[in-house]
Chain A
Amino acid sequence: MTAGPDPRETDPSVLAALEPEDLDGHSIDELADYLDAGMQPADPSIDDSPACQNALAAIIRLRNASLGSLESAAQREAPAEESWISGVLANISLEARAGRDVPLRAESETERPVMTEGAIRSLVRRAGDAVPGVVVARCSIAGDVTVFAAPVRVTVEVAIIAGPAIHPTAELVRAGVTTALAEQTDLVVEAVDVVVRDLLVDPADVTEAASGRTRSADGTDATATAATDTTAGETDA
Chain B
Amino acid sequence: MSDSDATRATRDSDPTRVSEDRTTWSATALTAIEAVVRQVPGVTDVYRARPTVHSAVAAVRAGATPTVSRLVLDGAVLHIVIGTDGFAPAPAVAHAVHDAALDEAARHRLALSRIDVRVARIG
Contact = CB atoms under 8 A, between A and B. Distances in A.
Interface of A: 48-51, 53-54, 57, 98, 101, 104-105, 107-116, 118-120, 122-123, 126, 183-186
20 contacts: A50-B81, A50-B120, A54-B121, A98-B120, A104-B91, A107-B95, A109-B114, A110-B102, A110-B114, A113-B118, A114-B117, A114-B118, A115-B91, A115-B94, A115-B118, A116-B118, A119-B119, A122-B121, A126-B123, A183-B89
For chain B, the bracket of interface size reads: 20 to 34
Contacts of A118: 120
Contacts of B113: 110
Interface in B72-95: 81, 83-84, 86, 89-91, 94-95
B98 A119 contact: no
B89 A119 contact: no
B65 to A, nearest CB: 18
Interface of B: 45, 47-48, 81, 83-84, 86, 89-91, 94-95, 98, 102, 112-123
Contact of B121 (A101, A113, A119, A185): A119
A113 B90 CA distance: 10
Contacts of B118: 101, 113-116
Contacts of B94: 104, 113, 115
Contacts of A48: 47-48
Contact of A115 (B45, B90, B123): B90
B27 to A, nearest CB: 19
Nearest to B46: A48
Contacts of B115: 110-112
A49 B47 contact: yes
Given A50-B47, A113-B119, A123-B86, 19 more contacts: A50-B83, A57-B123, A101-B118, A104-B119, A108-B98, A110-B102, A110-B113, A112-B115, A113-B91, A113-B116, A113-B117, A113-B118, A115-B94, A116-B119, A119-B121, A120-B122, A126-B123, A184-B89, A184-B91
